[in-house]
A = this chain, B = another copy of it.
């Protein structure tokens, strides 16, 4: 049974075929979030703290920490601020220290800069997930030694030096190559979480079926866990949450075991909780019942999903502290 074990200071999260779907919160990522990037440049980490707490309240059990930024306003001071290789290692360290200061969940260290990955591995408590290696030769040779040295699991993205193939058999072959190369380094398959690369169904009509088939093969033939950027599938189409909300249960049914996604969205999280229940990964339906109460509170109180989730988390923690449960 494939189990990818992640740890924070005190918590363990297992990604696995017999586990609830693992939601990796994607929000802490300055790429494409100009406001956040500007805050980070000014040393303001308040949004990061808020995003960390909010995502976990909404159901993320792992937080992705992406340091993808340059500090263009500081370029006059030092031109190296225009370079990711200069900015990211220290930013990664700061982001991780900030998040670990407010919440205790395993992290996913996400950067294209190897020095930032290593800075993250040094700063993270427990056993983080490294994001990512690809089938590109240079990347394999840079990242796999880090994976081995720090004994951590790694996300393996199925593109290589020829780019991203539209042929799912080629993407499978790239994943297989990464798993084999990792084995050469003494890294077991259960520490590889493959991202088979999801195409937008609006651009490639077979994209959904491709993923479902690929996930099944990756599970049966390579015995690996899988992940994806959950929202790629709906890119360019209207009512994206509706597509994501059907895609996630279908991917889970096909064997997908995690996603890097925005958990502050009730439609996607409702779909995942229901899929966990239907996969028999929610003992006594406790998580489903809890989510249903949160959705009720949302409607009745005119709250956002994040607000209702935070209120539910507080109330449940209060109940536990007091030694008995509050009535709803």
Residues of A within 8 A of B (CB): 201-202, 205-209, 212, 233, 237-239, 242-243, 245-247, 249-250, 252-254, 270-271, 273-275, 277-280, 283, 285, 288-289, 291-293, 295-296
Chain copies in the assembly?
A: 2
Given A250-B250, A253-B253, A254-B253: A278 in contact with B245 (beta carbons within 8 A): no
Chain A interface, DSSP helix/strand/loop, else mixed: helix
CB distance A209 to B279 under 8 Å?
yes
Given A237-B285, A279-B209: A274 in contact with B247 (beta carbons within 8 A): yes
12 A-B pairs with C-beta separation under 8 A: A208-B278, A208-B279, A239-B288, A239-B296, A242-B270, A242-B295, A245-B270, A246-B270, A247-B278, A249-B250, A250-B278, A253-B253
Q: Which of B205, B239, B245, B285 contacts A292 (CB 8 A)?
A: B239
Known: A208-B280, A242-B292. 13 other contacts (CB 8 A): A201-B277, A202-B285, A233-B278, A238-B293, A239-B270, A243-B278, A245-B246, A245-B271, A246-B270, A249-B253, A250-B252, A250-B253, A250-B278
Closest CB in chain B relative to A295 CB, distance in Å: 6
Complex contacts, A273 vs chain B, CB 8 Å = 242
A318 to B241, CA, bound (A): 30
A159 to B73, CA, bound (A): 72
